[in-house]
Amino acid sequence: NAGVTQTPKFRILKIGQSMTLQCAQDMNHNYMYWYRQDPGMGLKLIYYSVGAGITDKGEVPNGYNVSRSTTEDFPLRLELAAPSQTSVYFCASRNRGLISGNTIYFGEGSWLTVV
């Protein structure tokens, strides 16, 4: 059971370059999320999706874009990389529902450095 899979694990970008962080989950979860984690800080929500075709901004969406063409995949796009986007990025997913057991699962993270 793969769970939430993120690629790449590590990447160095030059200022102004573009790249896409891939995220896939095999748990048939409706909700998917992208967080960034800066040193000494908690996780901040960038974008989220409640289902295929639906995305919405989180707390820190500037400089990023997402798409959700399938239930399984939720890629995060950086169009013009800036040093402020140096961070660790985590993708996460959860199922829909209000009852207990509805918890969020994280990928292993993608370490991005912009130089």
* Binding residues for another protein (CB under 8 A): 4, 31, 33, 35, 40-45, 50, 59, 90, 94, 96, 98, 100-101, 103-109
In the complex with another protein, which residue's Cβ is closer, 60 or 114? 60
Handedness of CA 18, 105, 73, 35 (dihedral sign): negative
In the complex with another protein, which residue's Cβ is closer, 33 or 47? 33
The one-letter amino acid code at 72 reads E
Measured from the CB of residue 74, what is the shortest distance to another protein in angstroms? Answer: 15
Helix then strand then coil, % of the chain, to nearest 5: 5, 50, 50
